[in-house]
A = this chain, B = another copy of it.
């Protein structure tokens, strides 16, 4: 007998993630029943990963399980939300038990690390794709948005930029440079969402977004939502040694600006609060790098080493670059 839809869900996706008292009813009914504490608002985000677009067919299922949840937790981080619950809609060509077990394990590991319970899902037959909806909790009225940046605010990025894009180039055989590429594959395949940073930036940052489509494109979203523009100092972009070596060798300075899948945060800050941010960087051990300024003039302007100003290259666009 072939594995039934129900047993796929029951066997691999029951008990995934952290246990939570606020899950009144989890996997196995028509839906889940969840309790939002008084004074909290609900943050909701959804992301789909499609084989051949977001990942290759031969990707390790354990890392895919991790990444499927990571991209949604990264969105919650950008809102300053405390991750709580997730649902998983999994479309599979066939129920491969080894694959499912590894996928569930990767999902479970990251879910437990962030206190997330998998509360429901749907398993269907079809070309491999994964849709995760993650839900988090926010003190009422305190969610970080894209729309709060004002001219004069400082622009920051967490961590380093372009590592995942460089790892992808290397995987595709398009780059075999002298830079150290070993550590980069995990940046592409197992991104760590900046959840602690997002929580700490609540009430401190004026606007925030996670960098999934490339810094230029995502900062552009902050600018549009805020009715403002931005100036970026390219020489300040935080890059790993490998990305610096790549830029030096190829002259492709745009990688940290347009490379997708970074899952770092880009945020804006009123200048008078720089001291608080420095204290936060100390406490979390996270590099926050000042990279530019919010300006009144719309658009994103990138200043190169020679002082010239240009537009950022296009970011990741499913119906643009990839058509």
- A binding-site residues for B, Cβ under 8 Å: 1-6, 8, 24-25, 28-36, 38, 41-54, 75-76, 78-79, 81, 85, 87-89, 91, 94-95, 119-127, 129, 131, 133, 135, 138, 140-141, 143, 145-147, 208-210, 221, 225, 317-320, 322-323
Contacts and interface: CB of A to CB of B under 8 A. Distances in A.
Nearest to A44: B32
A35 to B, nearest CB: 5
Contacts of A30: 45, 75-76, 78-79, 146, 208-210
A13 to B, nearest CB: 12
Nearest to A140: B35
A126 B129 contact: yes
Nearest to A31: B45
Given A25-B143, A41-B33, A41-B35, A5 B210 contact: no
A221 B9 CA distance: 14
A44 B87 contact: yes
A4 B133 contact: no
Nearest to A7: B319
A323 B53 CA distance: 25
A31 B48 contact: no
A48 to B, nearest CB: 5
A53 B126 contact: yes
Contacts of A94: 319, 323
A311 to B, nearest CB: 15
B319 A2 contact: yes
A252 to B, nearest CB: 23
A29 B145 contact: yes
Contact of A25 (B33, B145, B317): B145
A227 to B, nearest CB: 13
Contacts of A5: 317-320
B48 A91 contact: yes
A318 B123 contact: yes
Contacts of A36: 36, 41-42
A42 B42 contact: yes
A23 to B, nearest CB: 10
A124 B50 contact: yes
Task: Among A31, A129, A143, find the residue whose CB has the most chain B CB atoms closer than 10 A.
Answer: A31
